[in-house]
Structure 1
Amino acid sequence: MYSIEPVPLPHEGPSDIFLWRVDFAFDASLDGAAFKSLSDDERARARNFRRHEDALRFASVRVVLREQLARHLGMAAHAIRFASDANHRPHLADSTALDFNVSHAGAHGLIAMSPKRRVGVDIEHHSDKFDWHSIAALTLDASEAAWIERLDIEQQLAAFYEAWVAKEALVKTTGVGITRGLQHLTVLPRDNAEVTLRNEIPDDMREIAARWIAAPEGYSACVAWSTKTFAG
């Protein structure tokens, strides 16, 4: 019988952050027992995807999210209820006990969860057909674009994706992001696993930290969190 087994991921962030990778099996059927905890709304949303792979990504991550939330809350996975805030960020409908965030790309998904702080996560699949120059103005500070250009051609795409996942994880942690756009966050050059915000730091990023995390070959990933906890 098919089951979805999340992979716990080590990281060097706060110990209250739990992180899992979800590996997708695209030959799985959404009618299988592994997806029994999905709500009717989630099943309808999955059916609205045109591609089975996209439906499978959404459903698999949501099943694991339900299971992990249920384990921490001591309740049944199918009983978990979700809501969205004004910025369409999902949260628990009946509790503020846990914050979570998800991302998926290619054959993998990521889930971050914490009972003490806001979290954000992003994973991206490196596409050799993608021209990073085409969206550089929307995603990179001019100094970052210039730094990437100085790299060997085979290193440029990976560097772009590293910047992208870091900025996405940071913005997803705030819940509202920055109104000026990703290009006004500067995270390159990368010195180590710790994401360092360079140049001017926007006000909504002053209590946010992040680290790049190990990802499967051909992927980049990052987890971010608020340095201020719910308790203050």
Structure 2
Amino acid sequence: MSTAEREDRALRSSGGVHLWQGATHAPPSAADLRLLSAAERTVMHRRSRTDGLRYAGAHIAVRRVLARYLGVAPAGIRFGTTPCPWCADPRHGRPVVEAPHTALEFNLSHAGPHWALAVTCAGQVGVDVEDGRSGIPAGATSLVLSPSELTHLDSLPDDGAREAAFLRCWTRKEAVVKAIGVGITGDLKSMEVHPEDPGPLVVRGTDGDGGDWLVQDVPNHSGLFVALARPAGSAGPVVLRAEGATPDHSLLEPFASPRS
């Protein structure tokens, strides 16, 4: 059995999510850069050198990881987007694999050199990663947090605790809107993600009409905040994977009774 067949079978049989994490600490090789599409190379060149190379590294990793499931060369994967479920604009819909044909769903997030990639066969998925050293952007709390979440932040004893709670809210909300496929066009203040709750928890989508999502924080050892969103009722495990590693190195078992 090939690597792709093993990866695909393991993912389908579990009904869960494989969550890959890695980082781009050196410029990709010329051979790796040739894996990118013309559109991806255009995005890379429009950014600063550092940001462009990090973007390239994350998107090269997406191709290499998905090739493990699809059984094709990384350069042979063609990506597209689904139309936004609210306005039908394809420019901010969910990313999908257009070729080869597959039921695989994926979502990518990156912050600085770090990236996280969620892969599943069990429905839509969203992931968000933020650097825990980034702090709270000026004015962000009033744009992102609900009244109850603002009250919780105000009750915390110091800046560090408030920053952690804000980033927990931000990553959870971003994971949900990415799973829905609407991006930050939705009203994040209308979504309650209960930063005081360690989760996992069921979250109602933005503006109350985005469905229900099972949201959980993902542990890591890099000072990052990572959250994963998938349809409520999902029962499969979240398997943590590391770029370049063959065996699964950590397992988050599903929780029977998440808070709603």
Q: Provide the TM-score with structure 1 as the length reference.
A: 0.81
Separation of aligned partners in 1, 2:114 and 2:39: 23
By relative contact order (CA 8 Å, sep 6+), the higher-ranking structure is 2
Pairing 1:64–2:70 present: no
Gaps of 5+ in 2: 1-13, 85-91, 235-260
2:170 is the counterpart of 1:164: yes
Counterpart residue number, 1:135: 140
Q: Which moved more, 1:167-176 or 1:83-92?
A: 83-92
Structure 1 position 177, deviation (Å): 5.8
Instruction: Tell me the TM-score normalized by structure 2.
Output: 0.73
Picking from 125, 130, 152, the partner of 2:131 is: 125
CA contact (8 A) 2:169 2:193 kept: yes
SS of the equivalent of 2:201 reads: coil
Segment of structure 1 superposing worse, 164-173 or 55-64: 55-64
Contact 1:193–1:213 at 8 Å: present in 2 too? no
| Inter-CA distance 174–228: structure 2 relative to 1 (3 Å threshold) | farther
Contact 2:203 2:215 in 1 (8 A): no
Query: Could you list the per-position Cα deviations for residues 7-44 of structure 1 after superposition, in whole angstroms to 9, with x for gaps in the alignment?
Result: xxxxxxx752111112121x42x453333321233222
Note the residue ranges of structure 1 that are not aligned, 5 or more in a row. 1-13
Distance 2:233 2:72 in 1: 28
The structure-2 alpha-carbon separation of the partners of 1:136 and 1:105, relative to structure 1 and needing over 3 Å to count, comes to same
- The one-character-per-residue Cα deviations of 1:53-77 (angstroms, maximum 9, x if unpaired) are 2112211111111112222111111
Q: Report the CA distance between 1:84 and its aligned residue.
A: 1.8
Match in the other structure for 2:42: 44
Please tell me whether the aligned partners of residues 185 and 201 of structure 1 are also in contact (alpha carbons under 8 angstroms). yes
SS of 1:167's equivalent in the other structure is helix
Name the counterpart of 1:10. none
Which residue does the alignment assign to 1:192? Answer: 198
Cα root mean square deviation, aligned: 2.4
Q: C-alpha distance in 1, partners of 2:151/2:216?
A: 23
* Alpha-carbon distance between aligned partners in 2 of 1:102 and 1:72, rounded to the nearest angstrom: 16
**TM-superposed deviation, 1:93:** 1.3
Q: CA deviation at 1:167?
A: 0.5
The residue identity in structure 2 corresponding to 1:149 is D
Q: Does 1:32 align with 2:30?
A: yes
Matched, 1:76 2:76: no
> In the aligned structure 1, how far is the partner of 2:44 from the partner of 2:185?
30
- Are the structure 2 counterparts of residues 64 and 219 from structure 1 closer, same or farther at C-alpha, using a change threshold of 3 Å? same
Change beyond 3 A, Cα 1:184–1:69: same
Determine if contact 1:166/1:195 at 8 Å carries over to the other structure: no
Q: Which residue does 1:99 correspond to in 2? A: 105
Give the one of 174, 179, 188 matched to 1:173.
179
